[in-house]
Every structure is written in C-alpha cells, then in structure tokens.
Amino acid sequence: MKTSLNLLVLSGDGIGPEVVDAALELLQYICEQEELDLNLTEDLLGGAAYDKYGTFCRDQTVETAKQADALVVGSVGGPKWDSLDIAGPPETKDGLMRLRKELNTFAGLRPCKCYTPLIQHTPYKDHIVKNTDIMVLRELCSGMFFGYPRGIDELADGSFQGYDANYYTSTEIERFARIGFELAQQRRGKLISMDKSNVTESGVLWRRVVNQIGADEYPQIELIHQYADNALYQMTMNPKAFDVVLADNLLGDLASDLAGTMAGSLGMLPSACLSTLNPDEDTLAGIYEPVHGSAPDIAGQGIANPMGMILSIAMMLQYTFKRPDLAEEIESAVVRTIDAGVTTPDLNGRSTTKQATQRIIAEYKQL
Ligand code: IPM
Ligand code: MG
C-alpha cells in the first residue's frame, strides 16, 4: 500500500473547480489523519486549457499524468467551446477523451446507488428504486467514440453524409469483459451485457466474446445478454434486477446517464476510469471524475453538489490506493449528510457546496 498520494488535479471548467476544491478539502483531512503524504500538481484541462494554450489537453499534461498515481478531474466543456469547429480525432476535440486514451483507461466504472432519502427526487416509485445498486461498466477507449472511418462528406448532389464506425477487436472486448466479471464476482454475481447484436456486426462479436470469457473463466457468474434498447427499458422498469452492466462506449454513455435518474441527481454519481482493478507500480494513473458535466448554468454560484466528486475520491482510495476502508467511511459520511438533509439545490436542498462539504467532513470526523 502506498503512503504517498501523487495526484494530478485537473479541475476543468464550470463547476469543476468548485467540486474539486470541496473533495480535496476532505482528502486533505483524511491524509492528515492517516499520515499519508498528499502531493498535488495542478494543471488545466478542457476549455480552461484551450483558452490559455489553444488545446484542450497539452502534451505536457499527458506526460505529467503518466507520472501521477491518479488524476482528479472536475468537469470539462461548456457552450463557449462547444461551437469550435476543431478538426482531427476525438482526442483533439476533448481533453478527457485524450487522457482516457493516453492512460489506456478502458474500464469506466460508474456506480449508481439510490440512497433512500433521495428517492423523492427521482422520477421513480419507492418500491421500484429503493436500494438500487448498479455498477455501469462502460468501455472507454474504443468503439464509436474513436473508430475510423469517420467524417462528414459532401455528396454529388450537394447534400452531406456524416458517418462513424463502431470498431471493437476481440482483444478489447476480452479485457473489458474480464473487468466486468471480476466486478460481478466482488458484488452480487450477476452480469448483464448489452449490445445491438440483432443489427450490428460489432454487437455480434461483442456477444460472442463475452459469452466465451464467461463460459471459460467465470462459469459461476450469472451472465445475461440483452439487446441494449431492451436493457435500458428493463433498467428503468426494474433497476433492482441489475448488478453489473457491461456496455460499449456509446451504450455505456447512455446507460450511465440513465442510472443517474435513480440517484436523484446526476450530481451524486462518481466514476473511475481504470486500466485494471489491481494496479501495481507500473500501472498508469486512473482518472477519477464525477459523471456530471460542467453545469455552466450554476457555475460560480457555490451551489454545485460536491457528492459525486467526493465519492469519486472514495473510489480513488479504494482502487488506486487500495484503501476500501477509507472509501467506505467517505460513503458513510455522505450518507449521514444526506440523512441530515444537508443537500444542495439539485436535490431541493438549501445548502451551498461549502456547507454540504463541511457537514461531510464533520460526519467523517465522527465515524
Ligand atoms: C461522459 C461525458 C463524455 C463522454 C463527453 C463529455 C465526451 O458525456 O463522461 O459521459 O461521453 O464520454
Ligand atoms: Mg456521458
């Protein structure tokens, strides 16, 4: 177990810096308590980097990222940069996409729990959503987001054709599926893999490879295949039937936002982008970021929900620093804060980011 935490902090845009500050305040306290060395290096990412350097993610940032133990990312993007017509691959259009690719963090862990006091903020009935606990596992380094060919071509009649390719190699599916089975093993032993094998070739290969890995290596895990459209429908109708959800880059992007409806607010959801569940000295940094975006409408007001970012820090302690005990304590402090009704306006609460954070820290101290 490491006793020093070397983190690259990329607060990003919009509410990113606000939630990152909140989470680091808690982390600072934890590190003092646990006698862990906290070394923070800060850099710009996303629109903030673009405004200063003309790129969403500099080469130098990538180099620093490769030396770090973990990356703490707030959120990137906003209307100011949305309309920029930037040529090139997705990595040049989005700083986060570049970092995921450069650090090979192909496994996007996006857990979603429904804490009981927050049910009223979900669009679901109590008995449907109560105690929902889903791990959406999203592939992050391939598929439609990175596939070639892609482009917008002008046709002979003067109209245009836009196209993208959804590429997956069997190697990419295998390594990703193994993480899904491992997570299922650590949880409730059930893996639901979604694909569109009824209409896509990449989906056919996806299903075939996931099946093979399941049969050969994880026969004890209950493996269910669902067409993605039906999987999302089932997830909405009966979320408790889901444990680990295995999805490609595009489908996982959809599934993880849908899962947000079960948490009461997208602001609750944490995520980890990893290349392995068992990092060692040579493993490149994992990226820890909340699922929510930069929320430009509320940026600078001090009312962003810090919980998604704070729970992402918990995931960092669990996965990169192998301290599941600390992760559990952070989650307990968050739950107690919710139970006490200290929440931000996205959950109809009246607390500011700072007040919610102070309460979480106070609850943590009392554990
Ligand atoms: C997410 C976001 C990103 C993605 C965007 C900002 C590129 O929606 O992390 O889910 O789709 O990967
Ligand atoms: Mg998304």
CA dist 252 and 232 (Å) reads 10
- Is the model's pLDDT at 139 over the cut of 70? yes
- Give the Å distance between the CA of 210 and the centre of ligand 1: 24
State which ligand 1 atom lies nearest to the alpha carbon of 289.
Answer: 9
- Residues 165 and 255 reside in one and the same domain: yes
CA dist 321 and 173 (Å) reads 26
Question: Which among 263, 290, 315 is the end of a domain?
Answer: 263
Question: Residue whose CA is closest, atom 11 of ligand 1?
Answer: 253
Residue 113 within a domain: no
Residue 23 within a domain: yes
Tell me if 311 sits within 8 A of 334, measured CB to CB: yes
- Residues 244 and 138 reside in one and the same domain: yes
Average pLDDT over residues 315-342: 98
User: Which ligand lies nearest the alpha carbon of 290?
Assistant: 1
Residue 117 within a domain: no
- 90-94, 288-292, 352-356: which has the minimum mean pLDDT? 90-94
- The predicted pLDDT at position 80 comes to 93
- Residues 89 and 127 reside in one and the same domain: no
Average pLDDT over residues 321-330: 98
- Residues 363 and 295 reside in one and the same domain: yes
Per-residue model confidence as pLDDT tens digits over 178-213? 999 999 999 999 999 999 999 999 999 999 999 999
- Give the Å distance between the CA of 200 and the centre of ligand 2: 22
- Is the model's pLDDT at 232 over the cut of 90? yes
- The predicted pLDDT at position 366 comes to 96
User: Which ligand lies nearest the alpha carbon of 97?
Assistant: 1
Question: Which among 263, 283, 316 is the end of a domain?
Answer: 263
In 24-173, beta strands by DSSP E: 37-43, 70-75, 107-113, 133-139, 151-154, 160-163
In the beta sheet, which residues pair with residue 4? 37
Tell me if 318 sits within 8 A of 324, measured CB to CB: yes
Residue 152 within a domain: yes
CATH of the domain at 86: 3.40.718.10
DSSP assignments along 189-257, one per residue: SEEEEEE-TTT-HHHHHHHHHHHHHHHHH-TTSEEEEEEHHHHHHHHHH-GGG-SEEEE-HHHHHHHHH
CA dist 356 and 344 (Å) reads 7
Ligand 1 pocket, residue 94 CB under 6 Å: yes
Residue 222 within a domain: yes
Residue 154 within a domain: yes
What pLDDT band is residue 98 in, cutting at 50, 70 and 90?
very high
User: Which ligand lies nearest the alpha carbon of 93?
Assistant: 1
Average pLDDT over residues 210-234: 98
Distance of CA 41 to the CA centre of its chain: 21
To test the pocket of ligand 1, the residue of 253, 258, 288, 289 to mutate (highest count of ligand atoms within 8 Å of its CB) is 253
- Residues 127 and 252 reside in one and the same domain: yes
Ligand 1 pocket, residue 253 CB under 6 Å: yes
Q: From edge to edge, which strands make up the β-sheet containing 270-274?
A: 37-43, 4-12, 70-75, 286-290, 270-274, 107-113, 133-139, 244-247, 190-195, 222-227
Question: Residue whose CA is closest, atom 12 of ligand 1?
Answer: 253
- The predicted pLDDT at position 87 comes to 83
- Residues 244 and 366 reside in one and the same domain: no
- Give the Å distance between the CA of 158 and the centre of ligand 2: 33
Pairing between β-strand 270-274 and β-strand 107-113 as defined by DSSP bridges: antiparallel
- The predicted pLDDT at position 1 comes to 67
- Residues 131 and 240 reside in one and the same domain: yes
**Cα 71–Cα 74–Cα 80 angle in degrees, nearest 5:** 130
- The predicted pLDDT at position 211 comes to 98
- Residues 246 and 292 reside in one and the same domain: no
- Residues 287 and 344 reside in one and the same domain: yes
Question: Residue whose CA is closest, atom 9 of ligand 1?
Answer: 291
State which ligand 1 atom lies nearest to the alpha carbon of 256.
Answer: 10
Residue 112 within a domain: no
Ligand 1 pocket, residue 69 CB under 6 Å: no
**Cα 89–Cα 6–Cα 50 angle in degrees, nearest 5:** 35
Residue 45 within a domain: yes
Closest listed residue to residue 94, CA positions, set 293, 254, 246 = 293
- Give the Å distance between the CA of 253 and the centre of ligand 1: 7
Tell me if 165 sits within 8 A of 148, measured CB to CB: yes
Helix axes 228-237, 249-260, angle to 10 degrees: 10
Question: Which among 204, 229, 263 is the end of a domain?
Answer: 263
What pLDDT band is residue 32 in, cutting at 50, 70 and 90?
very high
3-class secondary-structure state, position 287: strand
Residue 285: which domain range?
Answer: 1-106+268-367
CA dist 3 and 248 (Å) reads 35
Cα–Cα distances (Å) from 96 to 190, 221, 271, 347, in that order, read: 30, 33, 13, 27
- Give the Å distance between the CA of 5 and the centre of ligand 1: 26
State which ligand 1 atom lies nearest to the alpha carbon of 257.
Answer: 10
Q: How many domains does the chain have?
A: 2
To test the pocket of ligand 1, the residue of 13, 81, 97 to mutate (highest count of ligand atoms within 8 Å of its CB) is 97
- Residues 169 and 297 reside in one and the same domain: no
Tokens of 56: 């969403």
For residue 219, the tally of other CB atoms under 10 A from its CB is 8
Q: Which helix (H) or strand (E) holds 12?
A: strand 4-12
Per-residue model confidence as pLDDT tens digits over 38-71? 999 999 999 999 999 999 999 999 999 999 999 9
Enter the pTM of the model: 0.96
- Residues 181 and 152 reside in one and the same domain: yes
Average pLDDT of the chain is 97
User: Which ligand lies nearest the alpha carbon of 108?
Assistant: 1
- Residues 102 and 2 reside in one and the same domain: yes
In the beta sheet, which residues pair with residue 113? 133
